[in-house]
Amino acid sequence: MDILYSDNRILVCVKPAGVLSTDEPGGMPSLLRAWLGDEHACVRTVHRLDRTASGLMVFARSRAAASLLSEQVRGRAFTKEYLAVCEGSPEPACGRMEDLLARDRARNKTVTAAAPGKDVRPASLRYRVAAEKDGLALARICLETGRTHQIRAQFSSRGWPLAGDRKYGAQSEGPLALFSCRLGFSHPQTGEPMDFFRLPPREGFWLPFSSELAALGPAF
Separation of alpha carbons 189 and 143, rounded Å = 25
Cα dihedral sign for 150, 107, 169, 172?
Answer: positive
Instruction: Fill in the DSSP letter of residue 162.
Output: B
Cβ distance 30 to 23 under 8 Å? Answer: yes
- Burial of 142 from C-beta contacts in 10 A (0-12 / 13-18 / 19+): middle
Separation in Å, CA 139 to CA 32, 36, 62, 216: 30, 35, 35, 11
So which residues are the catalytic ones? Answer: 50
In one letter, which amino acid is 1? M
